[in-house]
Structure 1
Amino acid sequence: MVASQIHLVRHGEVLNPHDVLYGRIPGYGLSERGRLMAAAAAADLVARERPVSSLYASPLQRAQESAQPISEALGLPIVTEDRIIEPTNWFEGTNMKKALALPKNWWALRNPRVPSWGEPYTQVFERMMTAIQDAWATADSGDVVLVSHQLPIVMVQRGLAGEHLYHDPRKRRCELSSITTLERRGDRFVEVGYATPAQALSAGAKDVGAV
């Protein structure tokens, strides 16, 4: 058996009072608003009235906490999936605005197409697609939910649409707690839906954790 749909859920707002680019640094969990965002994503999935057979989440705290209300709402255990984690990043642990003002960091920006400041876009896309393929193929039936991060989800969106993986990070379409839905068509996956169930909570939300 295989899955019917794959739902890529981004985590909610992170508690980040110093605007640090947290990347893979441990200890960055959801803010109170982020928990409400995660609950909104869970409610959206429940409202679809589709059977969901499995739930995966990145090992990072913000993704695990965002998966928790989905787990509770759907009665599913959270399976940790390392391949859908946030990419590595040169600027991890810094305040991005301050870091860009330092000449020592400019070398990291030399090639935005790779990008030179972090894990290659092609590698992010490939590991995400391998995880999606495996989740789809091993599902007993119904849908699968994967709770991940902005850049990995954007790589899937762009790659499946045939767009260049390199892009302007300021123009990504992947809001906090958004849901990107995929289906298998023939021998490939295609995006069939994009929802922002936490949009009403987004005013004033911080979203500066990765590039």
Structure 2
Amino acid sequence: MALKVLLVRHAEHALAGRALAGRLPGVGLNERGREQARALGEALAASREPPTALYSSPQPRTRETAQALAARLGLPVELAPAFDEIDFGEWTGRSFEELRAQDADRWACWCDQRSRATPPGGEPFAQVAERAHAGLEQLARRHPSQVVAVVSHADVIKALIAMQLGLSLDALERLEIGCASVSAVEMGLDASGAPWSRVLALNASGWP
């Protein structure tokens, strides 16, 4: 028996690619993002193995994306704080350009040494990876042999993919997770009861 988890990054919003939205209140999808979410819902519904359960980070942009998927899949959305966005503390809402110019050393550490980096006043990234991985293990217990979709955030998804591949968290900048993309992992137990996992898709536009 194996669980397949579709790790969906939320669709586009106004700050995407420009600033750290983090847990900034009121960050919902823009028009392009709403269209992306609708299109992804269609793609998932038409796939060979559509999701049978749907989870979302508590942030508005993930919930809005998940609701668009739910409308097409006919599934309820369950909030899952384990897959929440990083708490960026004092960096919340700041642009990448500003961080590179005004907080260069700490920003460089964040980009290159994620395994030990913590935003000022925020959440250590190693802790983000741990809570997300714990959430994945909980899904494996709740949904054996099912396909589950989780709407989350780019760096949270990167951390989960890196952990499945045995990569250091310092390698996250080598991975690309675009808005409304799907990355997929499969998890199960072998004949001896030992856990195994593998990556099925990365930064895809849909699900086979």
**Alignment partners' CA distance in 2, 1:140 and 1:27:** 35
**2:163 aligned with 1:159, yes or no?**
yes
Contact map agreement 1:181 1:194 (CA 8 A) in 2: yes
Q: What does residue 192 of structure 2 align with?
A: none
For residue 122 of structure 1, report the CA deviation from its aligned partner.
2.2
For residue 119 of structure 1, report the CA deviation from its aligned partner.
3.0
Contact map agreement 1:53 1:140 (CA 8 A) in 2: no
**2:175 aligned with 1:172, yes or no?**
yes
**Alignment partners' CA distance in 1, 2:151 and 2:77:** 10
Please give the TM-score of this superposition, normalised by the length of structure 2: 0.83
Q: Aligned residue pairs: how many?
A: 194
**Alignment partners' CA distance in 2, 1:18 and 1:159:** 24
Matches within 5 A, 1:182-201: 182-186=185-189, 187-197=195-205
Q: What does residue 57 of structure 2 align with?
A: 58
Which stretches in structure 1 are left out of the alignment for 5+ residues? 199-211
For residue 160 of structure 1, report the CA deviation from its aligned partner.
0.9
Q: Deviations over 1:90-146 (max 9, x none)?
A: 4212222123322xx345347341223253332222111111111121127521110
**Alignment partners' CA distance in 1, 2:128 and 2:196:** 18
**Alignment partners' CA distance in 1, 2:151 and 2:128:** 15
Q: Deviations over 1:77-99 (max 9, x none)?
A: 10011110111224212222123
Q: What does residue 96 of structure 1 align with?
A: 96
Q: Relative contact order, CA 8 A, sep 6+: which one is greater? A: 1
Q: What does residue 133 of structure 2 align with?
A: 129
**Alignment partners' CA distance in 2, 1:3 and 1:92:** 37
Q: What does residue 31 of structure 1 align with?
A: 30
Q: Provide the identity percentage.
A: 28
RMSD after superposition: 2.4
Q: What does residue 7 of structure 2 align with?
A: 8
